[in-house]
Amino acid sequence: MNSTNYDSCPECDLLLRSAHPKIGEKAHCPRCGFLLSRPRKQSVERTFALSIAGFILFFPANLLPMVGITILGNANTGILMSGVIALFNEGMVAVAIVVFLASILFPLVHISLSLLISGHLYFNRPNRYLVGWMRWMHHLDEWVMLEVYMLGIIVACVKLMAIAPLKFGWGLYAFIALIIITTMLTSGLDTELFWQRIEQLGKENNLAH
Amino acid sequence: MHTKANALAQGFIRCHDCGCLVKTVDHPSACPRCDSQLHPRRPHSLQRTTAFLFSSFFLYIPANIFPIMTVNQFGAGDPHTIAGGIIELIDSGMIPIGLLVLVASILVPSSKLIGITLLLLCAHFRWQINARRWTVMYRVIAFVGRWSMLDIFMISILVDLVNSGSVQIIAGPAATAFAAVVILTMFAAENFDPRLLWDNQQNL
Ligand SMILES: [Zn+2]
Ligand SMILES: [Zn+2]
**Global ipTM:** 0.91
Helix (H) or strand (E) holding B170: strand B167-171
What does the pLDDT look like over B108-132, one tens digit per residue? 999 999 999 999 999 999 999 899 9
Nearest to B155 by CA among B140, B173, B137, B142: B173
Determine the average pLDDT of the residues in A109-124: 96
Kindly provide the b/e burial profile for residues A141-152, where b requires at least 16 CB atoms within 10 angstroms of the residue's own CB: eebbbbebbbbb
- pLDDT reading at A1 higher than 60: no
CA B84, CA B102: separation in Å to the nearest integer?
11
Predicted pLDDT of residue A52: 97
What does the pLDDT look like over B69-91, one tens digit per residue? 998 887 788 898 999 989 988 99
Neighbours of ion ligand 1 (CB under 5 A): A 9, 12, 14, 29, 31-32, 34
Mutate to test the interface with A, among B1, B154, B184 (most CBs of A within 10 A): B154
Distance from CA of A115 to the nearest CA of B (A): 19
What does the pLDDT look like over A131-174, one tens digit per residue? 999 999 999 999 999 999 999 999 999 888 888 889 999 999 99
The 10 Å Cβ neighbour count of residue B161 is 25
Determine the average pLDDT of the residues in B15-22: 90
What does the pLDDT look like over B165-204, one tens digit per residue? 778 899 999 999 999 999 999 999 999 999 999 998 877 6
Q: pLDDT averaged over chain B?
A: 91
- Name the band, by pLDDT with cuts 50, 70 and 90, for residue A2: very low
The 10 Å Cβ neighbour count of residue A46 is 17
Determine the average pLDDT of the residues in B18-41: 88
Q: What is the pTM of this model?
A: 0.92
Phi, psi of B42 (to 5 degrees): -55, 130
- Name the band, by pLDDT with cuts 50, 70 and 90, for residue B133: very high
Contact B33, A196 (CB under 8 A): no
- Provide DSSP, A111-158: HHHHHHHHHHHHTT---TTHHHHHHHHHHHGGG--HHHHHHHHHHHHH
Predicted pLDDT of residue B3: 64
CA A52, CA A146: separation in Å to the nearest integer?
17
Contact B187, A102 (CB under 8 A): no
B51 C-alpha vs ligand 2 centroid, how far in Å?
27
Predicted pLDDT of residue A5: 79
Could you list the beta-strand ranges (E) of chain A. Answer: 6-8, 15-17, 27-28, 35-37, 67-71, 74-78, 166-168
Mutate to test the interface with B, among A6, A16, A31, A32 (most CBs of B within 10 A): A32
- Name the band, by pLDDT with cuts 50, 70 and 90, for residue A4: low
Determine the average pLDDT of the residues in B41-51: 95
In angstroms, what CA-CA distances link A102 with A67, A133, B129, B158?
A: 20, 19, 36, 17
Q: Which ligand is nearest to the CA of B194?
A: 1
Determine the average pLDDT of the residues in A66-95: 90
- Name the band, by pLDDT with cuts 50, 70 and 90, for residue A204: confident
Helix (H) or strand (E) holding A48: helix A43-63
The 10 Å Cβ neighbour count of residue A5 is 10
Phi, psi of B33 (to 5 degrees): -90, -45
CA A88, CA B140: separation in Å to the nearest integer?
33
- pLDDT reading at A31 higher than 60: yes
Predicted pLDDT of residue A25: 87
Q: pLDDT averaged over chain A?
A: 91
Predicted pLDDT of residue B132: 92
